[in-house]
Amino acid sequence: MGVIYKILPQIKDFIVEEKKKNPDLSCRKTSSLVFNKFHIKLSKSSVNALIKQAGLSSPLGRRRKVRRGATIEAEGLGSLLLKAIDYTVGGSLSLNEVIKDALPKRDDPCLLESLIYQPLFKSLPDSQEIYSYSGLWPLAGKKYNPQDALSYLQELQGIRTLANNIFKNITNIFKEVWFIKITFSDNSLLYMDAELRTIWSTPNIPFDFSSTIYKSLGNINKYLNKDSPLVFFTAPGYDIPTSEFFDFLMGPQEAIQKSIAKITLYGYKMEELETIRCLGAEKRYFLFALWPWQFERYRKIKTNSEFRFFYFEPLQQEFYIAEGEIELTQPKSNQVVRLRGGILKSALNGKIKAIIPTNLPADKASLEEIVRLYLNRWPNLEEGFTDFSRKIELFTYTASSRKVFSTQKLISQGLGPLDIRAVLDYYLKSLDLYLRWHILPAEYEELDFLTTNQRFYQLKAKIKRKKDFQLVSFKLPKDYSFQKDLAYACQRLNEKEVISTDKKRLWFNID
């Protein structure tokens, strides 16, 4: 260990200040800086000893760039729940574009996110701790020191109109789509919820299945305008297949297929939010789930192979799957549709959990690929259907009095003067409000940011990076009282198909 008492006070102060400005500064680099300034050569061990004495050493040694297969674990990563909502609404990307309009040379979305989430880490001893040892840097995606963030904030505050422009943008970010209307080339219509869970007979759809414009357009682009098959959560109806659903199933099998002419997104007041014109007829592929109790009188299921083992890696789930043929009949129109598909069990000798019919031909998707496509989109089977049914029932009885999501609730609570820090805090609380309304159990709608911060955002979590996805696992303290609520939130987020800015899917579970 270096002999600290021999180092001049001004050199000690210099080393401490440099380390505070740049927490990732190595002992070797610090020694070089000292030599360049004071023409005194210090050993790495002497520098390291001084840094330790000042309480500035990194607890896990030298930090490396996060690579595939690496695991990050830190306090405060429960705030990844909010980051998932940000990905879903496209918020920080949109806010960064507003900033770029005002400051064209300022394009640093990670630094912006560092400012957004900084209040979640204020319980740490000082700003140095916030940036060095907490979960803030893996949350933001890049490491910064306090001076970087302070300089950036001051630069933003120097633009007089920026706070107001960001505030207006936040309002647009959270504007929601209630339902989607599809108009075909023969002028026939089809209604879908904004999350594309299923097909509906009317636009009177539960508000719980609403989504932001950003997410709805993303789903439409992926599942209706491109080659990816449309993956419904379930076929509509319990006892009898609906005629609207059959019209959709039969369309792709007709000799001359009717094409989608336009797709219209509607808001809560039945107003048109956006219309997408579609050109040309393309082959539409789809998957959906049938449940063991669904359409029992109007279906025939034939198993064509032995059940074999299937492992769903993102959630470490084990299944047994078999090839199947599915025949469905619509009794009013006497239409019949025959599809191939997958049959799922959770145990070899257990009962069937779900049937996944599809019109994807065998040369386009194997049995394993069919099952994986469905589970990637809708990983929660029975529990997902229970939640889906509960929300429909609740809407049936309370639709006339049901409030819809709006960030106006936060404004009514008092926003204060519009400056950059205030509007970033407003955005953070908007993410929290969205999480409470759409992801957490219903009783959280009437709670507040302080409650969810204490219960969830301060939790320790670890991030495991895989080739195509990232697994976020929560590490719960002993006697934690809200595990059931957190598990519910993980299930709902996994249904949102959260995609990070680097195109990796996020999955959530509890260790």
Mean pLDDT of the region 459-483: 93
For the cut 80, the answer to whether the pLDDT of residue 262 exceeds it is yes
Q: How far apart are CA 68 and CA 358, in angstroms?
A: 34
For the cut 60, the answer to whether the pLDDT of residue 61 exceeds it is no
Residue type for position 96:
N
Contact partners, residue 443, CB within 8 Å, separation at least 6: none
Residue type for position 154:
Q
Longest pairwise C-alpha distance within the chain: 94
- Beta bridge pairs of residue 490: none
For the cut 50, the answer to whether the pLDDT of residue 53 exceeds it is yes
For the cut 60, the answer to whether the pLDDT of residue 64 exceeds it is no
Q: How confident is the model over 117-131, as pLDDT tens digits?
A: 999 987 655 556 666
* Cα 213 from chain centre: 15
DSSP secondary structure of 144-206? --HHHHHHHHHHHHTSTTHHHHHHHHHHHHT-EE-EEEEEETTS-EEEEETT---EESSS---
Q: In what order do the strands lie in the sheet with 260-266?
A: 199-200, 189-193, 179-184, 260-266, 272-277
Find the range with the poorest average confidence among 195-199, 233-237, 342-346, 405-409.
405-409
For the cut 90, the answer to whether the pLDDT of residue 425 exceeds it is yes
> Sorting pLDDT into bands at 50, 70 and 90, what band is 398?
confident
Residue with more model confidence, 130 or 270: 270
Q: What pLDDT does 186 receive?
A: 83
For the cut 60, the answer to whether the pLDDT of residue 62 exceeds it is no
Contact partners, residue 133, CB within 8 Å, separation at least 6: 58, 59, 74, 124
Mean pLDDT of the region 12-32: 75
> Sorting pLDDT into bands at 50, 70 and 90, what band is 5?
very low
Backbone angles phi, psi at 305, to 5 degrees: -155, 170
Residue with more model confidence, 441 or 129: 441
Q: How high does pLDDT run on average in the chain?
A: 86
Find the distance separating the first CA and the last CA of the chain, reported in whole Å: 40
DSSP secondary structure of 384-412? HHHHHHHHHHHHHHHTTTPPPP-THHHHH
> Sorting pLDDT into bands at 50, 70 and 90, what band is 7?
confident
Q: How confident is the model over 132-188, as pLDDT tens digits?
A: 667 888 888 888 777 888 889 999 999 989 999 999 999 899 999 999 999 988 888
Residue 170, token pair as written in the block: 């936040």
Residue 271, token pair as written in the block: 């107003």
Q: What pLDDT does 19 receive?
A: 76
Residue with more model confidence, 132 or 47: 47
Beta strands in 346-468 (DSSP E): 352-358, 460-465
Nearest-10 crossing angle of helices 27-38, 44-53: 100
What is the radius of gyration, based on Cα positions, of the chain?
27
Mean pLDDT of the region 208-213: 94
> Sorting pLDDT into bands at 50, 70 and 90, what band is 105?
confident
Residue 191, token pair as written in the block: 């209604």
Are 434 and 91 in contact by the 8 Å Cβ rule? The answer is: no
Q: How confident is the model over 321-336, as pLDDT tens digits?
A: 999 999 999 999 889 9
- Provide, rounded to the nearest whole percent, the portion of the chain with pLDDT above 90: 57
Considering 203-212, 395-404, 405-414, the range whose residues carry the highest mean pLDDT is 203-212
Residue 58, token pair as written in the block: 């990194």
397-400, long-range: CB within 8 Å, 24+ apart, which pairs?
A: 399/204, 399/206
Mean pLDDT of the region 354-381: 95
DSSP 8-state code for residue 447? S
Q: What pLDDT does 46 receive?
A: 81
Residue type for position 7:
I
Q: What pLDDT does 3 receive?
A: 41
Q: What pLDDT does 32 receive?
A: 74
Q: Which domains does the chain have, with CATH numbers?
A: 4-53 (1.10.10), 71-173+405-510 (no CATH), 176-394 (no CATH)
Q: What pLDDT does 356 receive?
A: 97
352-358 and 335-345 strand pairing: antiparallel
Q: Among residues 348, 340, 361, which one has the least CA distance to residue 290?
A: 340
Backbone angles phi, psi at 181, to 5 degrees: -110, 130
By three-state DSSP, how is residue 490 classified? helix
pTM of the model: 0.83
Q: How far apart are CA 182 and CA 27, in angstroms?
A: 62
Give the chain's length: 511
* Cα 231 from chain centre: 18
Q: What pLDDT does 193 receive?
A: 96
Find the range with the poorest average confidence among 23-27, 59-63, 315-319.
59-63
Q: How far apart are CA 338 and CA 359, in angstroms?
A: 9
By three-state DSSP, how is residue 276 classified? strand
> Sorting pLDDT into bands at 50, 70 and 90, what band is 33?
confident
Q: In what order do the strands lie in the sheet with 460-465?
A: 71-74, 460-465, 469-475, 505-510
For the cut 50, the answer to whether the pLDDT of residue 4 exceeds it is no
Q: Among residues 352, 369, 290, which one has the least CA distance to residue 327?
A: 290
